Amino acid sequence: MTTYSIALIPGDGIGPEVLREGKKVMDAVAQVAGITWNWKEYPFGAEHWLKHRKGLPTLMSEEDMAALGKHDAVYFGAVGDPRVPESVEQAGALLWMRFYFDQYINLRPAKLLRGVTSPLAGKKAHDINFYVVRENSEDFYIGLGARFSGRQSHEELTLQRALFKARFKVDIDLEPGDEMAYQIGAMTGRGAERVIRYGFELAKRKKLSRVTVVHKANVLTKIYGLWLETADRVAMEYPTIELEKTIVDATTMWFVRRPEWFQVVVAPNMFGDIISDLAASTVGGMGFAPGGNINPDRKAGVSMFEPIHGSAPKHGGLNKANPVATILAGKLMLDHLGEERAAELVEQACEDVLEAGKIRTYDVGGTSSCSAMGDAIAERVLQLRP
């Protein structure tokens, strides 16, 4: 009997209610898969920050992070509350975990489950079934940039202009009163390589034949030039897997026109953010979109599993949110822990309940509650007992 120690972060808004259902299903799975969960709940979220962390730019302190790092995984609901600055809850919780634990893979499967209708006409279950592998540690997310208010003195502006020119070989001709901001993305060869390799390894493990690498190297030649050259190099090690390179704008078009085509799609951080929401909506919306923020080396950093959706404060506490994305995030967590059979069981139970159609949440035209959905899926897991 393997025991896993899991940190639970319910968070704000609908976070606590969807995570409660996720935990419920994980507890059911434990009963049939011969594993034990050792849950520890953490209070990080708006209330806790306002009471104990106010002034801190992050929801969690360094000590909090060290505590999280001791678990086998983090199971996360959602954060976001109008009373707390957005930067604290997003950069200071989600991005903070991704960077701190070097969760450089953001795995976001898009699968049209049995019983779910795609907004794209004529798609049957599993017609859409691909993985978005989003780079999660570099690109435009590194926070490198500056903003000029226009209120600086002439001397300050002259200095900034000189620094900018020396560093970037661009003259930004700022006059007092001018406002200006810039933000740059950066990529390292190693950063590109590790995520592209993960994409190929995933394809190999799942017996898939194509990896699509998304870019915009026709315009952003430096950053995505390095990205594509790295892809070429990695692909040579996988002669049986096709490397396809697509420009991000065209990729969005093909996601809609021919989603069946895609198998593994590896994208730089920001494009990955955008196309994963699009991918989610083709398989029924954010209620069905889980994400794994993964450091594949379990010793090097803990991984975090979450629904991609946010905290939806206006729906919070109403027990109506769709918990399936969170339950599927639990499936990704099981996969990461090496419990593949248990992971399969979770997905099958979700599909069986969705296909039966008796229990449906409001986002897919039903009236069932969040907890009724969780109950039904947990019950189905127990029925599927191998």
**Of ligand IPM, Mg ion, none, which one sits near residue 139, judging by CB under 5 to 8 A according to partner kind?**
none
Residue closer to ligand IPM by CB (options 243, 275) is 275
Q: Which of 26, 29, 94, 283: binder of ligand IPM (CB under 6 A)?
A: 94
Q: In the set 72, 273, 339, 375, which binds ligand IPM (CB under 6 A)?
A: 273
List the single partner that 351 binds among ligand IPM, Mg ion, none, CB under 5 to 8 Å by kind: none
Verify binding: residue 308, ligand IPM, rule CB under 6 A: yes
Residue 139 touches ligand IPM, criterion: CB under 6 A = no
CB of 330 or CB of 345, closer to ligand IPM: 330
> What CA–CA distance (Å, rounded) separates 136 from 103?
7
Q: Tell me how far apart the terminal alpha carbons of the chain are, to the nearest angstrom.
A: 16
Whichever of 94 and 334 has its CB closer to ligand IPM, that residue is 94
H helix intervals, the chain:
15-33, 46-48, 62-68, 86-89, 96-100, 154-168, 189-205, 221-235, 248-257, 269-282, 324-336, 340-356, 370-383
Cα 100 from chain centroid?
A: 15
Distance CA(35)–CA(339), nearest Å, equals 9
Examine residue 286 and tell whether it contacts ligand IPM (CB under 6 A).
Answer: no
| Chosen from ligand IPM, Mg ion, none, partner binding at 95 (C-beta under 5 to 8 Å by type) | ligand IPM
**Which residue in 5, 90, 160, 319 binds ligand IPM (CB under 6 A)?**
90
Distance CA(119)–CA(281), nearest Å, equals 8
Please count the other Cβ atoms lying within 10 Å of the Cβ belonging to residue 307: 30
Q: Which two tokens stand for residue 296?
A: 């594949």
Question: Which CB sits closer to ligand IPM, 159 or 184?
Answer: 184
Helix axes 324-336, 340-356, angle to 10 degrees: 160
Nearer to ligand IPM, 95 or 192 (CB): 95
Tokens of 366: 């039903």
- 203-232: contacts with ligand IPM (CB under 6 A): none
Give the closest residue to 305 by CA, choosing from 73, 115, 122, 119: 73
Pairing verdict, β 35-41 and 2-11: parallel
Closest approach, Cβ 380 to Mg ion, in A, equals 30
With CB under 6 A as the contact rule, the residue among 95, 116, 192, 312 that binds ligand IPM is 95
Secondary structure (3-state) at 22: helix
Work out what residue 223 binds among Mg ion, ligand IPM, none; the CB cut-off runs from 5 to 8 Å by kind.
none
Site map 239..278 versus Mg ion, x via CB under 5 A = ----------------------------------x-----
Give me the residues that bind ligand IPM (CB under 6 A), please.
90, 94-95, 273, 308
Give me the residues that bind Mg ion (CB under 5 A), please.
273
